Structure 1
């Protein structure tokens, strides 16, 4: 049984000092990972600079993305940036990557939002390039979307063979890719084909359990080595008027570990259930407003980590 791990998505701060203080507060509260998203629109810091600053302000806290949008960077560029960050942080990077999906990002930057199939295929090639460039010696790759001709980058990541690779999603193609290639799988909601937000038809307990079954089947012998996680999008004693990410109604998720309502003990019991019965051991608080509620949960479950 895997130990619990806890992460928090943090998007911005009013200054470098305030950002460093947020990172130190997370570390002091017992969180394991500070995560940033990767979007071109909205009040969000850029990942590489934000994660570097957070790593410099802390000693133990790991830093990562939920997740890099593959379409924003050539994987050779991301491989070098990530390896440098892993080295400078003392081996504390968790490299989350996804296809990119938010229509506003693409429209605002004048980029084409291609079909999910094309984006997943491109992501699959990008993962091969990342792992190859993080390895030893020159790397050669010839794909439909990327071509690498004997490139040997330095520095190499401090974590070997590479930083933990995190893939998240809710669609079957991404979940299959995650099961086959990732170290950490973050189970989420499927997004609409037009990039307008999460698919409201994808909520509910059975849909969540079906994703877990899909990951287990696709992973095969790798399953024992995978870490399974999910994002917590609602917390507290009662439903908040402000809904969860991208304005999706989270009421359909109440039976899943993505919504944690009730008392402190209710939340602790629910997390223990999902870890013990369904192997979900990594929980990410998606909204900063929920951190005061989740802090005592992290403190209580810390003894269950080892």
Structure 2
């Protein structure tokens, strides 16, 4: 049985000092990873710079992304950035990848928003490039989306960074089962990139995703995770949050009840369904969920 791991998603802070202090608080309260999302819109730090600062402010805390949008960077560029950050952090980087999904930010930035199958194929190729460039020697790849010719990069990471793939569609789950160390389960995104598909929520859908992963040959070595929210009032800055919370009822992703109830719920999902890695999705939930993390972390 895997031990619990906990992460917190942080999006920004009002100053460098506040960001450092936030990272140190996580390190002091049992969290294993600080995660930064990757979007071009909204009040958010750029992930790689923010993670570098967090790593410099801490000694044990791992840093990672939830998740980098593959379409925003060429994989050769990202491979070098990630290797540098991993080396300078003493091997504490965990790389979370996804296809990119928010159509509105693609349009605002003038980026083409390709159909899901194209974005997924591009992500699969990008993973080949990442892994190739994170190993010694020249690397060559001639694919449909990327071409790399005899490229040898320095530095190499301290060790090949832990790879997390996040998503909810069957093809993404199959890719994650083949290539990832951690699979981060989410709701499937609507094909038009407008947000999570409420039809993909609920306990039955979540269990079906777990069953699909369980059938994979690499299942015994996979770490399974998901984001968690404290059940509460709808959030005005997220007009779809109430609908999403309702759609996630019965899953480990929305946590009602007392701290004891939440603790027991997380233990159930770990002990019964092998889900052991939980990312607190909103900083506002940290006061309520940190005592649970302190009790369960590493057990």
TM-score (norm 1): 0.95
Structure 2 stretches of 5 or more lacking a match? Answer: none
Distance 1:244 1:183, change over 3 A: farther
What secondary structure sits across from 2:184 in the alignment? strand
Shift of residue 247 of structure 1? Answer: 2.1
Equivalent pair of 1:198/1:246 in contact (CA under 8 Å): no
What secondary structure sits across from 1:127 in the alignment? helix
Equivalent pair of 2:7/2:35 in contact (CA under 8 Å): yes
Number of aligned residue pairs = 297
Query: 1:78-100, CA deviations, whole angstroms, 9 ceiling, x for partnerless residues?
Result: 00000000000000000001101
Matched with 1:26 is: 26
TM-score (norm 2): 0.97
Query: 1:248-280, CA deviations, whole angstroms, 9 ceiling, x for partnerless residues?
Result: 411121210001100111000000000000000
Give 1:176's match in structure 2, choosing from 174, 177, 184.
174
Q: Could you tell me how far apart the structure 2 residues matched to 1:15 and 1:181 are? A: 37
Q: Could you tell me how far apart the structure 2 residues matched to 1:269 and 1:223 are? A: 24
Q: Could you tell me how far apart the structure 1 residues matched to 2:177 and 2:239 are? A: 26
Matched with 1:53 is: 53
Distance 1:289 1:45, change over 3 A: same
What secondary structure sits across from 1:229 in the alignment? strand
Shift of residue 300 of structure 1? Answer: 1.1
Matched with 2:220 is: 224
Equivalent pair of 1:5/1:282 in contact (CA under 8 Å): yes
Query: 1:133-174, CA deviations, whole angstroms, 9 ceiling, x for partnerless residues?
Result: 001111110100001101010000002xx1000001000111
What secondary structure sits across from 1:39 in the alignment? coil
Pairing of 1:190-209 with structure 2 (within 5 A)? 190-209=188-207
Shift of residue 215 of structure 1? Answer: 1.4
RMSD: 1.2
Q: Could you tell me how far apart the structure 1 residues matched to 2:18 and 2:103 are? A: 30
Shift of residue 105 of structure 1? Answer: 1.4
Q: Could you tell me how far apart the structure 1 residues matched to 2:257 and 2:162 are? A: 33
Q: Could you tell me how far apart the structure 2 residues matched to 1:40 and 1:299 are? A: 33
Shift of residue 216 of structure 1? Answer: 1.7
Equivalent pair of 2:199/2:247 in contact (CA under 8 Å): no
Pairing of 1:8-27 with structure 2 (within 5 A)? 8-27=8-27
What secondary structure sits across from 1:283 in the alignment? strand
Equivalent pair of 1:230/1:282 in contact (CA under 8 Å): yes
What secondary structure sits across from 2:35 in the alignment? strand
Matched with 1:116 is: 116
Structure 1 stretches of 5 or more lacking a match? Answer: none
Shift of residue 291 of structure 1? Answer: 0.3
Matched with 1:97 is: 97
Give 1:247's match in structure 2, choosing from 231, 240, 244.
240
Pairing of 1:205-284 with structure 2 (within 5 A)? 205-217=203-215, 219-220=216-217, 222-232=218-228, 234-236=229-231, 239-242=232-235, 247-248=240-241, 249=243, 250-284=245-279
